[in-house]
C-alpha cells in the first residue's frame, strides 16, 4: 500500500499494508495546502494534487479527483479549513465561510457524508462564537473527522471480518470468495475502506480470501481503483465485467457480497454505485448473503424511503461515451459511441432493505431495518 509517513514530504513508499496510508493530508511543509491523490489517474499514475482554496476542494469533489462518500466528506471539511484561511482578515469572514459551505454542499448530491461533514464543522464554528480562531477550529475538526474515519473503518473491518471468518470455518479453510462493486476501499475513505476493511483484516488474520472485483462502468472504479489497492495490498482478486456477478453466483463462486453505500435511510435502504441493485437481486435469487458496509456518517436519519427520497446524481454523458486508459506509455481517452446516440448516466441506484442480509457498521452488524439501526445507534435514531 502507498504510505505517507510523516517526514516523507510528499514522497511515498509502497508497503504490503498501509497502516499509515492516508487519502488526504496537510502538506508537510506548508500548512496552507491540503494534498490529495488525483484518483482520476490511477492505476496508471500516482499523482498528488494540491488544494489551496475551497474552490479547489469543490473541483476535486465535483470532478472526482476524490470520491467515495467518507472521503468526499473529509475533503469538504478540509475545504472549510481552506475557506477559513482565505477569510482571515476579511470583515465578513463568517459569511465567506458560510458561502463556501453552501457551494461545497452542492458539489455532489448523493453521498450524505458531504452534508454531515459540513454541518459538523459549521456547528463547531457557530458554537465557538464570533471571536473564535476559525482557522484553528476548522483544522482541528477536519483532522478529527479523518482520524475518526480511520477508527470507524477499523471497527467495520473487525465486525465484517467475523462474517468472513464464519464462512471460512464452514468451508474448512477453503478460499472465501467476496464480490464487491465500485470502490468502497481505502481510496474511498481515509484508510482501510468500508467494504474492503473486513477483507484486509481477514487477510491479516490469515484467512484465505479472494475478491471478485466488478469493473463498475462507466468510471471503472472497480478496475482502476479497487483492483489497484487490492494489488498494492497483496489481496488475491480477479476483475470481472459488471454483468458477470449473476453467473458466478449461479455457479457457487461467490460466498458473500460486500458493497459500500453513499447514503442509507433509517429504514435500511441503500444508495450505492449504479449496478449495486442488480447484484443484490442476483444474490437474493441465489441465496448469497448480501452485506453493505457503512460508517454511521452515511446514515441519513431524516429519510425512510430510499427510492423516493435519495437524490440520484446524473453525470456527464462523456463518462459513458468515452473510455480512458493507457496505450503504451501514453494516457489517452477514446470515444466508443456514435455521435447521434443519446446517453443517460445515472451514477447511483437504490437497493431496498429487503434485499440486504445485513449492515456492517462500526458498532456491529444489524438487520437492514429501522429497529436494527436504532439498536446500534440509539442516540442518532432519536432525531
Q: Residues 173-202 vs ligand MRU: string with x where CB under 6 A?
A: ---------x-x---xx---xx--------
Q: Which among 6-14, 128-136, 254-262, 368-376 is the span making contact with ligand MRU, rule CB under 6 A?
A: 254-262
Catalytic residue (one of 262, 269, 300, 349): 262
Three-state SS at 139:
helix
Are the CB atoms for 372 and 359 separated by under 8 Å? yes
**Is 318 annotated as a binding-site member?**
no
Kindly tell me which of 168 and 189 has the beta carbon lying closer to ligand MRU.
189
Looking up cell 463568517 gives 94
Q: Which among 30-38, 93-101, 227-235, 259-267 is the span making contact with ligand MRU, rule CB under 6 A?
A: 259-267
Three cell numbers, residue 212:
471478485
Distance CA 261, CA 49 (A): 26
Distance CA 373, CA 367 (A): 7
**Is 161 annotated as a binding-site member?**
no
Distance CA 279, CA 251 (A): 15
**Is 183 annotated as a binding-site member?**
no
Three-state SS at 213:
strand
Kindly tell me which of 189 and 265 has the beta carbon lying closer to ligand MRU.
189
Catalytic residue at 262? yes
Kindly tell me which of 66 and 142 has the beta carbon lying closer to ligand MRU.
66
Kindly tell me which of 65 and 135 has the beta carbon lying closer to ligand MRU.
65
197 upstream amide cis, omega within 30 of 0: no
Three cell numbers, residue 184:
468502497
Classify strands 348-351 and 2-3 as parallel, antiparallel or unpaired.
Answer: unpaired
Q: Which residues contact 222 (CB under 8 A, 6 or more apart)?
A: 180, 181, 182, 183, 213, 214, 215, 216, 239
Three cell numbers, residue 142:
477536519
Q: Which among 9-17, 68-76, 234-242, 349-357 is the span making contact with ligand MRU, rule CB under 6 A?
A: 68-76
Q: Residues 319-348 vs ligand MRU: string with x where CB under 6 A?
A: ----------------------------x-
Tell me the closest approach of the beta carbon of residue 296 to ligand MRU, in angstroms. 13
Active site residues: 262
Binding site for ligand MRU (CB under 6 A): 67-70, 111, 182, 184, 188-189, 193-194, 221, 260-262, 272-273, 347
Binding site, annotated residues: 67-69, 108, 221, 272-273
Amino acid at each position: 500500500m502507498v504510505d505517507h509517513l510523516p517526514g516523507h514530504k510528499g514522497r511515498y513508499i509502497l508497503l504490503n499494508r498501509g497502516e499509515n496510508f492516508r487519502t488526504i493530508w496537510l502538506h508537510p511543509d506548508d500548512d496552507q495546502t491540503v494534498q490529495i491523490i488525483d484518483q482520476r489517474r490511477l492505476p496508471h499514475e500516482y499523482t498528488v494534487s494540491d488544494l489551496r482554496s475551497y474552490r479547489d476542494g469543490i473541483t476535486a469533489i465535483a470532478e472526482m479527483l476524490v470520491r467515495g462518500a467518507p472521503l468526499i466528506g473529509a475533503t469538504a471539511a478540509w475545504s472549510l479549513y481552506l475557506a477559513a484561511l482565505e477569510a482571515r482578515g476579511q470583515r465578513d469572514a463568517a459569511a465567506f465561510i458560510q458561502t463556501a459551505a453552501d457551494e461545497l454542499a452542492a458539489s455532489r448530491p448523493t453521498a450524505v457524508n458531504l452534508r454531515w461533514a459540513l454541518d459538523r464543522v459549521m456547528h463547531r464554528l457557530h458554537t465557538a462564537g464570533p471571536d473564535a480562531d476559525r482557522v484553528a477550529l476548522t483544522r482541528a475538526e477536519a483532522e478529527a473527522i479523518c482520524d475518526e474515519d480511520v477508527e470507524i473503518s477499523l471497527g467495520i473491518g473487525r465486525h465484517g471480518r467475523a462474517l468472513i471468518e464464519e464462512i471460512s470455518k464452514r468451508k474448512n479453510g477453503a478460499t472465501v470468495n467476496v464480490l464487491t462493486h465500485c470502490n468502497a476501499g481505502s481510496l474511498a475513505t481515509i484508510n482501510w475502506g468500508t467494504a474492503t476493511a473486513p477483507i484486509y483484516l481477514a487477510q491479516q488474520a490469515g484467512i484465505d480470501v479472494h475478491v471478485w472485483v466488478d469493473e463498475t462502468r462507466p468510471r471503472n472504479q472497480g478496475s482502476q481503483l479497487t483492483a489497484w489497492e487490492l494489488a498494492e495490498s497483496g489481496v488475491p482478486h480477479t476483475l470481472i465485467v459488471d454483468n458477470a456477478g449473476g453467473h458466478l453466483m449461479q455457479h457457487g463462486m461467490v460466498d458473500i457480497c460486500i458493497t459500500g453505500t453513499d447514503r442509507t435511510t433509517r429504514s435500511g435502504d441503500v444508495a450505492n454505485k449504479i449496478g449495486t441493485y442488480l447484484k443484490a437481486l442476483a444474490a437474493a435469487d441465489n441465496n448469497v448473503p448480501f452485506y453493505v458496509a457503512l460508517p454511521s456518517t452515511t446514515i441519513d436519519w431524516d429519510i425512510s424511503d430510499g427510492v423516493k427520497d435519495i437524490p440520484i446524481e446524473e453525470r456527464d454523458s462523456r463518462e459513458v461515451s468515452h473510455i480512458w486508459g493507457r496505450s503504451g506509455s501514453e494516457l489517452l481517452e477514446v470515444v466508443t459511441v456514435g455521435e447521434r446516440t443519446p446517453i443517460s448516466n445515472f451514477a447511483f441506484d437504490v437497493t431496498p432493505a429487503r434485499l440486504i442480509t445485513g449492515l456492517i457498521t462500526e458498532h456491529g452488524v444489524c438487520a437492514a431495518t429501522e429497529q436494527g439501526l436504532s439498536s446500534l445507534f440509539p442516540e442518532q435514531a432519536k432525531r
